[in-house]
Structure 1
Amino acid sequence: MGTDANDTPLKLTKKGHSCVRLEKGGRTLVIDPGGFSEQESALGADALLVTHEHPDHFDELRLRAAMEANPEARIWTLRSVAEQISGAFPGRVHTVGHGDTFEAAGFEVEVHGELHAVIHPDIPRITNIGFVVDGLVFHPGDALTVPERPVKTLLLPMHAPWNKFSEVLDYVRAVSPAQVYDIHDGLLNDNGLGVLNRMLGEGGPGTGGAAHDHLRSGEGVRLAR
């Protein structure tokens, strides 16, 4: 993988729940524009990544709108999602899995992980992949996958039917990033966010050294390399 792409500043914008936009050099990559993110969250994307088929991560109408608005846009996702949308956009939907690497609109992407976290033994597990972008930021989807490489910025699934706080905290410590930003928080009100943010900050056991911040929808940051 080349190094030139990794020298360009990378901006991250939170777009609601588990959706983020990454921008550099005039190109835009969107991850998981699902049903809990803003209606326009995928519009303007040059590349779209989808971690799995659950509707809070995969919304076909949002993807279709983005693909129709930009005939050059492409999707990279796992088979269960590709099978649902590839027929509408022949040659523009790419199936990827654990261990794959590819370039998407100038962003260098690695795929990590294979399965969704266990919700309950009675509920069959589905597939799930996570994405490391430009060797800098990791979006795990609905799993607590520890990538087999260091990542500086972790997008942390804060709250879901499949996790609890002790697992969230231990996950941060296992990945050992320099910076953590919350995702997967669409079911939390301000009270819940306040409690969890205190637990990950000075009022709780802490993250093991990682800086932790919460971005509200629409807020953006420049990611340090």
Structure 2
Amino acid sequence: MQLTKHAHACVTFTGDNGSLLIDPGTFTPGAAALIAGATAVLVTHEHFDHFDGAALAAALDRRPELRVYGPAAVRAALGDHDGRVVTVRSGDRFEAAGLEIQVHGEQHARIHDDIPLVDNVGYLIEGRVFHPGDSYRVPDARVETLLLPTSGPWTKFGEAADFVRAVRPVRMIQVHELMLSELGQASARTLLGETGLTGLPLEILAPGESTGA
């Protein structure tokens, strides 16, 4: 299985039977093209930087084979599309693009009491790689590779470090980085990385860069 990092929270997993796209949002240039090439799409939550609703709706209209999975708000925004938009919840297990998916978590991380919490799910791919969306909720499963969010109105490096320590992955890769400058990303790698709070290297992949997963 190959993982390709795109801008912000968007990644693609490519296996023998297709490609699985997670969180194509409006912060990801070329999201529509990525959706066009995907066998299936997973959405962690409804926020626009993770969910380009217009691009996904257009793709569902054009491609009767496309499947989209996400919380109830995603289905409400897109419609049923003859059962091809599927609501998922914590504890669900299913297969998409030939890959095994486990769903963990229920809510977005708190930003402020004045901002309502929305549903947020994380996805464990093939029992190895975990994409948490916008949450530090620790999955009830062993994780080999953690995709670690490093920027956003809800993020805090101290909480991110505690999240990594609780998950105890073998490897971690940065996602959700667009609110950090190059200096900010370097600071995240230092503070959260091998010589910092977690003792584990924080890998920073450029958009379009791939790695084995």
- Fold shared by both chains (TM-score > 0.5): yes
Moved more, 28-37 or 184-193: 184-193
Aligned residue among 185, 190, 196 for 2:177: 185
Q: How does 1:153-164 map to 2 (within 5 A)?
A: 153-164=145-156
- 1:196 matched residue in structure 2: 188
Identity score, percent: 45
- 1:167 matched residue in structure 2: 159
Asked whether the equivalents of residues 124 and 130 of structure 2 are also in contact (C-alpha less than 8 Å), the reply is yes
- 2:7 matched residue in structure 1: 16
- 2:111 matched residue in structure 1: 119
Query: Per-residue displacement from partner, 1:70-99 (whole Å, max 9, x unpaired)?
Result: 431100111011111024x22211111011
Matched, 1:213 2:203: yes
Asked whether the equivalents of residues 189 and 201 of structure 2 are also in contact (C-alpha less than 8 Å), the reply is no
Asked whether the equivalents of residues 198 and 204 of structure 1 are also in contact (C-alpha less than 8 Å), the reply is yes
Residue 203 of structure 1, CA deviation: 4.5
Tell me the SS of whatever aligns to 1:42. Answer: helix
Matched, 1:99 2:99: no
Matched, 1:45 2:35: no
Residue 122 of structure 1, CA deviation: 1.4
Residue 178 of structure 1, CA deviation: 0.3
Asked whether the equivalents of residues 44 and 70 of structure 1 are also in contact (C-alpha less than 8 Å), the reply is no
CA–CA separation in structure 1 for the residues paired with 2:148 and 2:62: 30
Asked whether the equivalents of residues 157 and 192 of structure 2 are also in contact (C-alpha less than 8 Å), the reply is no
Query: Per-residue displacement from partner, 1:96-138 (whole Å, max 9, x unpaired)?
Result: 1011111112111011000100001111111111111110101
Matched, 1:222 2:191: no
Asked whether the equivalents of residues 17 and 184 of structure 1 are also in contact (C-alpha less than 8 Å), the reply is yes
Q: How many residues align?
A: 211
Asked whether the equivalents of residues 11 and 22 of structure 2 are also in contact (C-alpha less than 8 Å), the reply is yes
Residue 68 of structure 1, CA deviation: 4.4
Asked whether the equivalents of residues 17 and 97 of structure 2 are also in contact (C-alpha less than 8 Å), the reply is no
Counterpart of 2:19 in structure 1: which amino acid? T
Tell me the SS of whatever aligns to 2:173. Answer: strand
Query: Per-residue displacement from partner, 1:7-62 (whole Å, max 9, x unpaired)?
Result: xxx10001110000000114000000001112223221001000111000011122
Asked whether the equivalents of residues 15 and 41 of structure 1 are also in contact (C-alpha less than 8 Å), the reply is no
Tell me the SS of whatever aligns to 2:34. Answer: coil
RMSD: 1.4
CA–CA separation in structure 1 for the residues paired with 2:40 and 2:86: 11
Residue 67 of structure 1, CA deviation: 3.1
Counterpart of 1:93 in structure 2: which amino acid? V
Moved beyond 4 Å, runs of 4+ = none
CA–CA separation in structure 2 for the residues paired with 1:197 and 1:18: 17
Aligned residue among 6, 9, 25 for 1:34: 25
CA–CA separation in structure 2 for the residues paired with 1:62 and 1:203: 41
